[in-house]
Amino acid sequence: MSLTSWFKDYVYIPLGGNRVKLPRHIMNIVTIWFLTGLWHGAGWTFVIWGVYFALVMLLEKFVVGKYLQRLPRVFQHAYLIVCVAVGWMIFDASTLNESLSHIGLLVGIGADSMSSVVIAYYARSYAVPLAIGAVGCTPLPRIVWTRIKNKYNGKWFMAVLEPGFVGCVMVLVTSFLADGSFNPFIYFRF
């Protein structure tokens, strides 16, 4: 059973879920996300992470959701990426000040400049995975794969091509993750 299923089945539904009046429904959402944050750890950053996602969810549900649906998909995806990135910065920080500092850096507050040595280092170090990720976020890989599949359908090498490609990408991503840094599993902190 996943954490989401457990909270839904044993907390959200017994509280009344969404089959209650609006103020109680809002309180149920905030309660679930607060408890989800608390489950991850007793630090304030985890609790704030939970409340942050409760607020994002409530804003989407009651204020901006209908406007978001009218936007082109690229803007919907960008909105999601920004919300999740901010959430991870809150979640991963040791203190609230550290999380606010990281969020500020995300939008350029507190950064020296774009010509900073650190920014240049990260740009060089992660150019390949960023380029792969950028291309992978477009419809281009699916279009190319569909054309290859249609052209060479039934050929012997097609059974090896897809798993081989996925394996190569996995090795590349893992090598960038492990390269030259200590990167402990995030749940070892709890």
> What is the set of active-site residues?
40
Q: For residues 33 and 50, give the distance between their C-alpha atoms in angstroms, rounded to a whole number.
A: 5
Tokens for 190? 């709890």
List the Cα angle 69/26/86 in 5-degree steps: 60
Q: For residues 30 and 108, give the distance between their C-alpha atoms in angstroms, rounded to a whole number.
A: 30
Q: For residues 1 and 188, give the distance between their C-alpha atoms in angstroms, rounded to a whole number.
A: 21
Helices (H) and strands (E) in the chain, counts: 10, 0
The Cβ of residue 81 has, within 10 Å, a number of other Cβ atoms equal to 11
Distances (CA, A) of 57 to 7, 16, 145: 16, 18, 35
Tokens for 79? 């909105």
